[in-house]
Structure 1
Amino acid sequence: MAVLKSWRRIVGIVGTVAGALLAYGILTNFSSIHQTASFLSKFTIKELFVLQSTFRLRQPDPLSSNMIVLRMRADPGAIREVPNPNGAIVSTVPAGTTLRPLSEKRAWYLVEPREDADGPSFRKGYVSVSDVEWAANCVPAEMIDLGPGDLFRDCAAAPEMIVVPAGSFMMGSPASEEYRLPDEGPQRKVEITTPFAAGVYEVTFEQWDACQRTGGCGPKEPHDLGLGRGNYPVMNIDWPQARKYVRWLSAITGKRYRLLSEAEWEYAARAGTTAPRPGSGSDSSYCEHLNGLDLTALKLVPDVVDAVGSTIPCSDGYPAGAVVGSFSPNAFGLYDMIGNVSEWTQDC
């Protein structure tokens, strides 16, 4: 769950959290975490335990992702009857053969032929992790003319993108705005002179795990705080890690991905509105558009108002993080631009 303070600052209620909104070419964005140790210190151990106990524990098997493929690196590669280097060899396949991993056991994968891949047939068996490698499932799509509002995906391993139109807006917030932070002014007019593409959803754990499996995002695995991985937004990553992810996307697609600038992010988040929050302005409409610090959290942790000053006067149904795309998009077709988890930008 996130604390709704303004368009520019969403602070995670359960610790360091991160999300990711991506953009592409001169067109980009990605998201991440804010450290909240001082915020957490305002809660009792019992209250934090109550929050933790509500977290979903769903842990999808990362081997099931269609964003990456397992292929034989050894030539020829041995597939054995049992996960043992002395086990009987049931098949051998040349380097480059794609495999369908079924499970992982210590230093071995149980594999079988991929149904959708051309290659030699072989019997199901075990292959040593030292004989195989993970690769991005990325055959770049043909480029076509795109206009504002058009959706596209460069390849299976890349995020779904949408073209954001050019335009102008008043960046920052007026001094009279409720919950305004000191660094949100002075207001100034900003021109976005060229359309750009941004990720439709926050970057998910599944997308991040694909980058990490293939060596693009480093060895450090971000913790999900018990929420679950899969289509939950990635969290607990820092700015250098966010940049590694967009560099990985650039490498596998041959296109230019980068983090959005702060101005591009706020323009995309506002999507033409000057209101401090998304929705129609009614209390109930806030929770249709964002996962924030609301009455759901208030029931779990009654002292939360004393810790952060306010809550959203509605219930979004999520005591903590939500699967990406669980709420209504903004006018540009972007989800979770406010709430859920925070975003990293190229500058600050």
Structure 2
Amino acid sequence: MKQFKKKFLSGSLIIFSLSLLINLFFTEKSLLASDESKKFKDCEICPEMVVIPPGEFQMGSELTEEVLGLTRTEGPVHKRIISKRFAVGIFEVSNKEFKSFIDSTNYRPSQSCTKWKGKVIQFDGNWLDPDYGREPKDNEPVVCVSWYDAKAYTVWLSGITHQKYRLLSEAEWEYIAKNNNNYKWAWGDKASDACKYSNVFDIDGKKSNYAEKFATWDPTNCLDGFERVAPVGSFSPNKFGVYDITGNVWEWMEDCSEAEYKNGQLDEKPNQVRGHCEKRSVKGGSWLSKISRHRPSFRGRDPENLSSHIFGFRIAKDL
């Protein structure tokens, strides 16, 4: 009997060891597959995310841009280090995703919006009526949202998932947009290639009644197929698997914007100031923006309570 128990225990140990090895093999294989895809959703109504690896890049540029009669700088050029991986929304937050937030919380977002008609004017539209001349579609990026509205969405998403959702920092956004290259634009050095990757102010846009009357700058010499806003993901993604990182709508950043970058800052953290933040950073350009505003280094800045029919947002998440 003792010998039988000894053999039984010995055999069981071998079977257990083999089982453990098999489980480890498939677990490791599953993890590798998961890491390779890098895409995930934390819930059914959550935006799809992609994991961004750590790295470093040169932030800013030596170029300047005239904005409302003032010269806006983009420097000094300096190294930034993305010290740890994080996740970012593959797409800009859509109307459908924002509606889930409104329906769940009864949150009251901005009830007025600004639009460009030769100058910035206020109108009584909101995210449900952004002056498209039609109803916005579920799969189009939400617009007419302020920085506060974007932040409120991330707070809600964090609450229902018990995860840390937030807005991107300016450094994180530029790291994604430049995607390990030094091109003038996210897609390369030729402005005419924009329409393969971005919804920009192009020949289609110039033909529209709206742009023909109110846009005073030249269109980009290409055709992207959209006169105004486009559904999210309508163009090719970049190397990180992120869509519409430039174009379609401007994206609110976490940063409090200042005229020049802080001396000596190397990390990916958003710029913060003591007391009230006068303006927040916005990046990426829109379907109505001149092509130079689509450069990854261009720095938009606007009051955090502003909502506009060309402003939306994208989310990030700590891992």
Query: CA offsets, 1:122-179, max 9 Å, x none?
Result: xxxxxxxxxxxxxxxxxxxxxx786476101001011100001111111112238999
Give the match for residue 213 of structure 1: 103
Give, in angstroms, the shift of residue 203 of structure 1. Answer: 0.3
| Structure 2 letter corresponding to 1:184 | E
Q: Which of 147, 153, 165 in structure 2 is aligned with 1:245?
A: 153
Aligned to 2:243: 335
1:189 aligns with 2:79: yes
1:167 is aligned to 2:167: no
Which residues of 2 match residues 196-207 of structure 1 at below 5 A? Answer: 196-207=86-97
> Following TM superposition, by how much is the alpha carbon of 1:185 offset from its aligned partner in structure 2, in angstroms?
1.5
Which has more helix, going by share of residues? 2
Q: TM-score, normalised by structure 2?
A: 0.58
Deviation of the 1:297 alpha carbon = 1.7
Aligned partner of residue 340 in structure 1, secondary structure: coil
Aligned position for 1:316: 224
Whole-Å separation in 1 of the counterparts to 2:174 and 2:76: 15
Identity %: 37
The residue aligned with 2:115 is: none
Q: 1:23-38 to 2 correspondence within 5 Å? A: none
In the superposition, the TM-score normalised over structure 1's length comes to 0.54
Q: Give 1:321 deviation, angstroms.
A: 0.1
Q: Are the counterparts in 1 of residues 55 and 83 from structure 2 also a CA contact under 8 Å?
A: yes
Q: In the aligned structure 2, how far is the partner of 1:319 from the partner of 1:284? A: 16
For 1:273 and 1:301, the matched residues in 2 are separated by 37
The residue type paired with residue 187 of structure 1 is V
Question: Which residue number corresponds to residue 195 of structure 2?
Answer: 287
Structure with max Cα Rg: 2
> Deviation of residue 291 (structure 1)?
0.2
Give distance in 2, aligned partners of 1:249 and 1:216: 14
Q: Secondary structure in 2 aligned to 1:170?
A: strand
Q: Structure 1 residues 227, 191: CA separation in 2 closer, same or farther (over 3 Å shift)?
A: farther
Q: In angstroms, what is the RMSD of aligned CA positions?
A: 2.9
- Give distance in 2, aligned partners of 1:291 and 1:312: 11
Shift of 1:236: 0.2
Ranked by relative contact order (alpha carbons within 8 Å, sequence separation 6 or more), the top structure is 1
SS in 1 for 2:254: coil
The answer on whether the counterparts of 2:205 and 2:211 sit within 8 Å (CA) in structure 1 is no
Which of 246, 258, 265 aligns to 2:166? It is 258
In structure 2, distance between residues paired with 1:185 and 1:304: 34
Match of 2:42 in 1: 154
1:249-280 CA deviation, whole Å, 9 max, x = no partner?
A: 00111111011111111111221122122334
Aligned-partner SS, 1:189: strand
Q: Secondary structure at the match of 1:344?
A: strand
- CA distance 1:246–1:253, change in 2 (3 Å): same
- Mapped to 2, the partners of 1:148 and 1:248 lie a distance apart of 29
- Structure 2 stretches of 5 or more lacking a match? 1-30, 111-125, 258-319
CA distance in 1, matches of 2:73, 2:135: 31
CA distance change for structure 1 residues 169 and 231 in 2, over 3 Å: closer, same or farther? Answer: same
Shift of 1:285: 2.2
SS at match of 1:325: coil
For residue 4 of structure 1, what is the aligned residue in structure 2? none
Of residues 181, 206, 210 in structure 2, which corresponds to 1:298? Answer: 206
Residues 233 and 323, structure 1, Cα contact 8 Å, conserved in 2 = yes
Q: Is the 8 A contact 1:246 1:259 kept in 2?
A: yes
